[in-house]
Structure 1
Amino acid sequence: MKEKILVVEDERIIAFDIKNCLEKSGYTVPAIAAYGEQAIAKAGEFHPDLVLIDVMLKGNMSGIEAAAEISSRFNIPIIYLTAYSDASNLQKAKITQPLGYILKPFVETQLITTIEIALSRHQAEVVIREALVQEQEKRKIKSNFVSMVSHEFRNPLSNISTCTELLANHSHRLNEAKKDEYLHHIQNSVKQLDRLLSDVLLMGKAETVTSQLNPAPVDLENFCQNLVKEIQLSASEYHNIIFTIHSKNLNLEDHSTGQNLQLLTQNQQMLYLDEKLLRHILTNLLGNAIKYSPAGGTVRFEIFCVQGEVIFRIEDEGIGIPEADQENLFNSFQRGSNVGKIPGNGLGLAIVKNYVDLHGGEISVVSKVGFGTTFIVSLPSQLK
């Protein structure tokens, strides 16, 4: 589909000659405007790819003034038509940064060539501008990330420094219970630093792991059963993980459409997933379900294998996530405002989101404070 070009020319014969010339070359002319105010309105209505506008127009607004308004409001490239080549008009026109000039009476080949060059140049400028914006955004994100990491490291380092100073300089005044307390603080701070460092390294790795994404056949039921056993060992006696992989005889209702999805079993087709990344996704979500259920309770871990994807559903009966916190939950260093003294650095879910994205999947959360949280992860299963 050829580009749309708005023609702004107050001499009707010239305007229709230009229109015919453009349409013969395959361009679309959605409208012809004769006045500056009309040109601005038409630009807003049709959003053309380029505006061909006469420098001098009848009425209260010149072509240069109208072009400046169009460029400012809609970022549409401008080419000027002019019968005047004097320096004063050209100097005024330059301020609006047009992508070309065409002198009247125009030559058809010159008109088309100027338009093609202008459109190509504008497209290149758009690409460069978008790349610059993306680069600035990346730098901003990295800068914020470094600042947050530095802040997170300072707290445990400060605790270690304070406790070691007290032990070194005031040990003779401290009883054994107090010494043990300070040593306990040091050990906890070291563990906190170790966890934080591990998560930061995982975040860095997530940015470069795309080329290493390695889907392979996975015995999903066996893999998940072993994973549940490992996590259950680290959980308290008050936590119970119930694992279910649904058979083809069960239906999963898609609430967005109200339709039932046909479930598949691994006997029918083999699931292809990156086992290493999957382990991290599920370990983090199941670990969170345990951690944020400090009073214990049941954690339900369900899998649905549907055509083309596998869906993991992890539901706990824990403290829940305040609605105001849910929007930023997958951003780095974001935690629920109700976590209290439950340890964590707010990087786990950001890493999970990265790994889900690498798979081309989706993750969502439903939660209510005091009733628990449900995470749903959908991954393309690359069924072979």
Structure 2
Amino acid sequence: MAEKKVWIVEDEAIIAMDLKRRLQGMGYTVLGISGYAEDAIEKIREYTPDLVMMDIILKGEMDGITAAEIIRRELHIPVVYLTAYDDESTVHRVEETEPFGYIIKPFEEQNLRMVIEIALHKEVEKELEFFAQEVNQYAQELQNTTNLLSFSNRKRTVISEITLHDILNKIMTIQGCLDLAADKKVDSELAGYLNEMQQAVTDIQKLIRFTREYEKLGAEERTWVPVSDIITTISDEQLPIRNHCSPLSIFADPMLEMVFANLMDNTLRHAEGATEVNLNCETNDEGLLIIWEDDGTGIPEDQKEKIFEKGSGKGDGFGLFLAREILSLSGITTNETGMPGKGARFEIMVPNGAWRIESGNE
């Protein structure tokens, strides 16, 4: 622990030097000595000691009690009084300044040590009490903010559901009209317009599906999600997944299943010539690296980041974008690191503390 710093305010030079010697012998650092209250206040503002030893009766216009009151009010530094007077009026004035202790002259070293230790201890208690009040205040503000966000999210969800419901109804109307128009004989120009309308309706439906899925992000608390169960669910007979990882769970958003489902969908759509997917796990200093690897054509170098952008790809363009968003909620990252022409390789980095091997399994 660092040595505590003390400032002495005493107008009797011999007493001040004796006190300094005693304090240094106890292991305290004496920053300086002042004989006048005005000088003491200026120096204490400059040096900010941990404790002030203040004589009550000082030369000059200001006494020690007034000086101590200013020091406590402005600088919040504890003050211990030194006095040769213990009359009732003096004690009453001292108590009004909330002292951290006072010593009657001539003082004994044991008493001096005890009073100083108590004063410093009381100061720590006051600081802890202050910090506790601050923490409670911040906690209350945080709770109020959380309540407002929760209410805002509820409103947004309700409005969104109502809006999407109305949009879907209108889309069904348009789709019905397009189906009826498809049975009619129309010229090639009009047929082209109808085809564009059909594509626009399809795109709107994809956007709505994505919006509904994206709204679910972070709606539920993170939980331990068994990866092996997900792999079993999404495995395909024509493109099997070889799971080489020990049975593990990841502490993540419950939508984690969609991450692997989107990886599988991406492989089925784009991994031309692929015959299987291999899932491997490696540990390192950062955590657990989950590797999703196929034996298809791979991804060109200039497309490795673009595939994670919203709207990219041949499908609806949201799969890998949504997958990365889901993982990021849990501090998990993903990148594509495969060699073009030798298959795609998606690396998912799960930080330590967010993965575990299921007990009772090898």
Normalized against structure 1, the TM-score is what? 0.50
Judged with a 3 Å threshold, the aligned counterparts in structure 2 of structure 1 residues 190 and 5 are, in CA distance, closer, same or farther, namely same
Partners in 2 of 1:163 and 1:295 — Cα distance? 20
Judged with a 3 Å threshold, the aligned counterparts in structure 2 of structure 1 residues 116 and 196 are, in CA distance, closer, same or farther, namely closer
Judged with a 3 Å threshold, the aligned counterparts in structure 2 of structure 1 residues 165 and 51 are, in CA distance, closer, same or farther, namely same
Judged with a 3 Å threshold, the aligned counterparts in structure 2 of structure 1 residues 58 and 42 are, in CA distance, closer, same or farther, namely same
Of 208, 225, 233, the match for 2:266: 233
Of 219, 222, 229, the match for 1:197: 219
Q: CA deviation at 1:197?
A: 0.5
Partners in 1 of 2:136 and 2:306 — Cα distance? 39
User: Counterpart in 2 of 1:115?
Assistant: 116
Q: CA RMSD in A?
A: 4.7
Alignment length (residue pairs): 246
Does residue 43 of the first structure (1) align with residue 65 of the second (2)?
no
Partners in 2 of 1:147 and 1:61 — Cα distance? 53
Segments of structure 2 that go 5 or more residues without pairing to the other structure are 178-200, 225-245, 247-258, 271-281, 291-304, 314-320, 334-348, 353-362
Counterparts in 2 of 1:254-269, with a 5 A limit? none
Give the letter for the 1:191 counterpart.
Answer: E
User: Counterpart in 1 of 2:33?
Assistant: 32
Partners in 1 of 2:64 and 2:176 — Cα distance? 82
Superposed CA offset, 1:81-133 (max 9, x none): 12232333333332332111111222222111101111122223323433442
User: Counterpart in 2 of 1:10?
Assistant: 11
User: Counterpart in 2 of 1:127?
Assistant: 128
Superposed CA offset, 1:157-211 (max 9, x none): 12324666899xxx89x9455999999998666434422404xx13x99xxxxxx
Give the letter for the 1:37 counterpart.
Answer: E
- Is the CA contact 2:37–2:64 (under 8 Å) kept in the aligned structure 1? yes
Q: CA deviation at 1:135?
A: 3.9
Judged with a 3 Å threshold, the aligned counterparts in structure 2 of structure 1 residues 127 and 76 are, in CA distance, closer, same or farther, namely same
Superposed CA offset, 1:251-295 (max 9, x none): xxxxxxxxxxxxxxx9xxx723433xx77xxxxxxxxx6598457
Counterparts in 2 of 1:362-381, with a 5 A limit? none
- Is the CA contact 1:37–1:66 (under 8 Å) kept in the aligned structure 2? yes
Judged with a 3 Å threshold, the aligned counterparts in structure 2 of structure 1 residues 71 and 143 are, in CA distance, closer, same or farther, namely same
Counterparts in 2 of 1:169-188, with a 5 A limit? 175=173
- Is the CA contact 1:156–1:192 (under 8 Å) kept in the aligned structure 2? no
- Is the CA contact 1:77–1:99 (under 8 Å) kept in the aligned structure 2? yes
Give the letter for the 1:126 counterpart.
Answer: E
Partners in 2 of 1:192 and 1:58 — Cα distance? 75
Partners in 2 of 1:291 and 1:67 — Cα distance? 69
Segments of structure 1 that go 5 or more residues without pairing to the other structure are 206-215, 217-225, 238-265, 280-288, 298-341, 357-376
- Is the CA contact 2:218–2:329 (under 8 Å) kept in the aligned structure 1? no
3-state SS of 2:30 partner: coil
Of 253, 263, 271, the match for 2:284: 271
Judged with a 3 Å threshold, the aligned counterparts in structure 2 of structure 1 residues 2 and 185 are, in CA distance, closer, same or farther, namely closer
Partners in 2 of 1:347 and 1:232 — Cα distance? 16
Partners in 1 of 2:160 and 2:64 — Cα distance? 68
Partners in 2 of 1:348 and 1:140 — Cα distance? 29
User: Counterpart in 1 of 2:81?
Assistant: 80
Counterparts in 2 of 1:139-150, with a 5 A limit? 139-150=140-151
- Is the CA contact 1:160–1:186 (under 8 Å) kept in the aligned structure 2? no
Give the letter for the 2:17 counterpart.
Answer: F
3-state SS of 2:31 partner: coil
- Is the CA contact 1:160–1:185 (under 8 Å) kept in the aligned structure 2? no
Judged with a 3 Å threshold, the aligned counterparts in structure 2 of structure 1 residues 107 and 71 are, in CA distance, closer, same or farther, namely same
Judged with a 3 Å threshold, the aligned counterparts in structure 2 of structure 1 residues 178 and 11 are, in CA distance, closer, same or farther, namely farther
Partners in 2 of 1:232 and 1:42 — Cα distance? 73
Q: CA deviation at 1:151?
A: 0.9
Q: CA deviation at 1:55?
A: 2.0
Give the letter for the 2:114 counterpart.
Answer: T
Q: CA deviation at 1:149?
A: 3.1
